[in-house]
Structure 1
Amino acid sequence: MAKQRISVVIADDNDMMRGVLRAMLRGEEYDVIGEASNGVLAVDIAERLKPDIVCLDVVMPEKNGIEALCEIKATQPEIEVVMVTGNSDPATVQESIQNGASGFIIKPFNAARVLDTLARVGTRIRQRKN
């Protein structure tokens, strides 16, 4: 039986970071269905496309990742949100987890760690869908 593909939205204000993440996920069991360059767009795209996972940068213009996380979780608690950050200070991690983040990817990231984090989240999504 083919594994169910998992839909992902990537939200990061850095084009290159979005490109790197997209490249890492290509060919794996993920479909990158949307991208956002700021927190406002991230919330909007999550609302419209209803992805399984949102990879959300913590530091973004217009609305930061934690604010976007709170809004996404308030309206769509089933979406798994993985925070992407170059700033892994304990306060940020704590605040994200308290607000419903499913995992963390620390920049600069390596493919193995990214895929490992998403695989753990993906397992939870598949268990819910079955």
Structure 2
Amino acid sequence: MLLVDDNDLMRTLLRSILRGSQYDVVGEARNGVVALELAERLRPDIICMDVMMPEMGGLEALQAIKAMHPETVVVMVTGSPSVDNVRESIQGGAGGFIIKPFNAGKVVDTLSRAWQSSGRAVLQ
């Protein structure tokens, strides 16, 4: 799994939530530009990505990542879930949406549902 958020605290929180689950965090990025580089180099099964980031936002990065690797499951994270953001994320191929503030159960449940709906039942 790749964690993408410009907020260090958010990445730390997500990493600690995922540490006790079956997800293995292989990389972290602060913006969409770095996320694209890491997605290409690391080929994560799942990317958990913030919508609003500097340099390149999550929606733009989502489209680029899905164009390069359509099989990658991308779950978007946002503190301001506007109808436009949700619609654009789903149209861009996002497999799920996590709203800040979140709790561990919500994060793991959303990631699990996104993974299962991708048709790849077992994490590798």
TM-score for both structures, normalised by structure 2: 0.94
Task: Deviation per CA, 1:95-117: give whole Å up to 9, x if none.
Answer: 01001000000001111110100
Deviation at residue 75 of structure 1 after TM alignment = 0.5
Deviation at residue 128 of structure 1 after TM alignment = 7.7
Deviation at residue 119 of structure 1 after TM alignment = 1.1
Alpha-carbon spacing, 1:107–1:129, altered in 2? closer, same or farther (3 Å):
closer
- 1:74-93 matched pairs, under 5 angstroms: 74-93=67-86
1:56 aligns with 2:49: yes
Deviation at residue 125 of structure 1 after TM alignment = 5.3
One of 81, 87, 98 as aligned partner of 1:94: 87
3-state SS, counterpart of residue 126 of structure 1:
coil
3-state SS, counterpart of residue 31 of structure 1:
coil
RMSD: 1.6
How far, CA to CA, are the matches of 2:83 and 2:14 in structure 1? 24
% identical equivalent positions: 58
How far, CA to CA, are the matches of 1:126 and 1:38 in structure 2? 27
How far, CA to CA, are the matches of 1:62 and 1:109 in structure 2? 25
One of 15, 39, 58 as aligned partner of 2:8: 15
Deviation at residue 126 of structure 1 after TM alignment = 3.3
Task: Deviation per CA, 1:26-78: give whole Å up to 9, x if none.
Answer: 02100000000111001110111010100010000110000000000000000
3-state SS, counterpart of residue 121 of structure 2:
helix
- Structure 2 equivalent of residue 4 of structure 1: none
One of 98, 113, 116 as aligned partner of 1:120: 113
Deviation at residue 129 of structure 1 after TM alignment = 7.6
One of 19, 40, 47 as aligned partner of 2:40: 47
Given residue 115 of structure 2, which amino acid in structure 1 is its aligned partner? Answer: G
**Partners of 1:11 and 1:56 within 8 A in 2:** yes
| Greater fraction of residues in strand | 1
Query: Any unmatched runs of 5+ in structure 1?
Result: 1-7
